[in-house]
């Protein structure tokens, strides 16, 4: 189906060898470790989690920037990265990315207008110069930039304006899939709000499938139609924002939600997890979260829970999936 994104058993592992020791045993870093999910045409999926949970690696895998170790990404019925060169170029112009660092993603020696129009030269060489300029002016207006901004260089713009340039450069291709990797994390709160308003206006005018990655749960709640919570390269919970943020079922989701400031919530209600996330090179057996879970059970230490769906929700947790303890998990979710 056009615009449908399907991810099946996606993994990305890195082989690590100790420097200076040819005889050292090779270790495996599991950056992404078995993702399976669908994003419907026109839907925006938000992905949240701590740093190191595999969010940015997932973004690069979805767009084919890096090959998966196993599994597959299928967009619009075609397998990403597994088509001939010419077909791959046609597929890539349907898929665009909004980057976290706009200053690092822009060439300081080229004007803004030229940078927004550059993808059109590569993918639509038959466009005349006038047609290309008209398209650039139109997309700049859509993101709240004036035509005179096109003659400026990146260092002459504010942070919010540079982020709008990155959005414009992605949208000028009229993508069917848009992947956003922490697109507003480097901006202050007031500028974040402006950029997010622009983004929502664009969504209302243009129909595209999206994946929005962020560590800021408030931003994801505002943007996403569904939310996936990642921990150590795996999805531990997925559902509608109202469900995940008001009644989180997984203990890790509850801890994340409890850290979001909310009227009427005291500091004592925040769930403080013990220790840091485990090293992805040495993932603990059983449930990867059991070393920090405040409700850990013996089964959590030996058996990895599968992501099980029920009523539109999906959770990978023995407390929820085991009928004998499900009541405890749901009750704690409501308390959060």
- Looking at residue 143, its pLDDT comes to 86
Query: Is 306 found in the same domain as 204?
Result: yes
Say yes or no to pLDDT of 14 above 70.
yes
State the pLDDT at residue 86: 75
- The domain boundary, picked from 123, 139, 174, lies at 174
Question: Longest Cα pair distance anywhere in the chain, in angstroms?
Answer: 68
Same domain flag for 60 and 191: yes
Residue 271, domain member (yes or no): yes
* Confidence class for position 330, pLDDT limits 50, 70, 90: very low
Inform me whether the pLDDT recorded for 332 exceeds 50. Answer: no
**Six token digits for residue 60:** 């690069």
Structure tokens at 215: 């560590």
Judgement on whether residues 157 and 197 belong to the same structural domain of the protein: no
Task: Extract the tokens encoding 120.
Answer: 């059109």
Residues 265 and 179 in one domain: yes
Task: Enumerate residues 6+ apart whose C-beta is below 8 A from 244.
Answer: 227, 229, 237, 238, 253, 257
- 21 within a domain of the structure (yes/no): yes
**CATH assignment at residue 229:** 3.40.50.300
Average pLDDT over residues 326-330: 40
| Number of domains the chain is built from | 2
β-pairing verdict for 95-98 and 177-181: parallel
| Same domain flag for 18 and 130 | no
Percent residues over pLDDT 90 in the chain: 48
**pLDDT tens by residue, 249-288:** 999 999 999 888 776 666 557 788 887 888 888 888 999 9
Domain check: are 78 and 179 in the same one?
A: yes
The whole domain housing 146 covers 104-174
Q: Which residues are CB-neighbours of 94 under 8 A, at least 6 positions away?
A: 75, 76, 173, 175, 176, 177
Q: What is the pLDDT of residue 264?
A: 62
Mark whether 155 and 16 lie in a shared domain. no
Shared-domain flag, residues 200 and 168: no
Q: Are residues 143 and 198 in the same domain?
A: no
pLDDT in tens, 142-187: 888 898 999 999 999 988 889 889 989 998 988 899 999 988 876 7
Across-strand partners of 5?
39, 75
User: Has residue 59 been placed in a domain?
Assistant: yes
Asked whether residue 99 is domain-assigned, the answer is no
């Amino acid at each position: 189906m056009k615009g449908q994104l399907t991810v099946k058993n996606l993994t990305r592992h890195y082989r690590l060898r100790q420097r200076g020791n040819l005889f050292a045993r090779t270790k495996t870093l599991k950056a992404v470790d078995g993702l399976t999910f669908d994003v419907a045409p026109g839907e925006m999926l938000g992905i949240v989690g701590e740093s190191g949970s595999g969010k940015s690696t997932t973004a690069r895998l979805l767009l084919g920037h890096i090959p998966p170790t196993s599994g597959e990404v299928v967009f619009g019925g075609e397998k990403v990265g597994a088509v001939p060169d010419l077909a791959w170029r046609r597929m890539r112009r349907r898929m665009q990315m909004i980057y976290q660092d706009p200053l690092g993603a822009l060439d300081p020696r080229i004007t803004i207008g030229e940078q927004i129009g550059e993808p059109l030269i590569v993918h639509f060489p038959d466009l005349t110069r006038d047609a290309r300029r008209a398209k650039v002016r139109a997309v700049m207006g859509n993101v709240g930039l004036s035509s005179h901004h096109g003659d400026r260089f990146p260092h002459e713009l504010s942070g919010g304006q540079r982020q709008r340039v990155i959005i414009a450069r992605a949208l000028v291709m009229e993508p069917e899939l848009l992947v956003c990797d922490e697109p507003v994390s480097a901006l202050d709160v007031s500028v974040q709000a402006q950029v997010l308003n622009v983004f929502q206006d664009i969504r209302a005018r243009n129909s595209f499938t999206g994946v929005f990655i962020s560590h800021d749960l408030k931003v994801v709640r505002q943007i996403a139609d569904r939310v996936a919570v990642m921990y150590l390269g795996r999805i531990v919970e997925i559902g509608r924002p109202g469900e995940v943020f008001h009644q989180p079922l997984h203990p890790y989701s509850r801890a994340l939600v409890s850290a979001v400031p909310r009227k009427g919530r005291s500091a004592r209600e925040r769930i403080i997890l013990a220790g840091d996330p485990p090293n992805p090179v040495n993932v603990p057996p059983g449930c990867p979260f059991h070393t920090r879970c405040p409700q850990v059970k013996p089964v959590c230490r030996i058996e990895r829970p599968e992501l099980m769906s029920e009523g539109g929700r999906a959770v990978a947790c023995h407390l929820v999936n085991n009928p004998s303890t499900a009541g405890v998990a749901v009750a704690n979710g409501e308390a959060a």
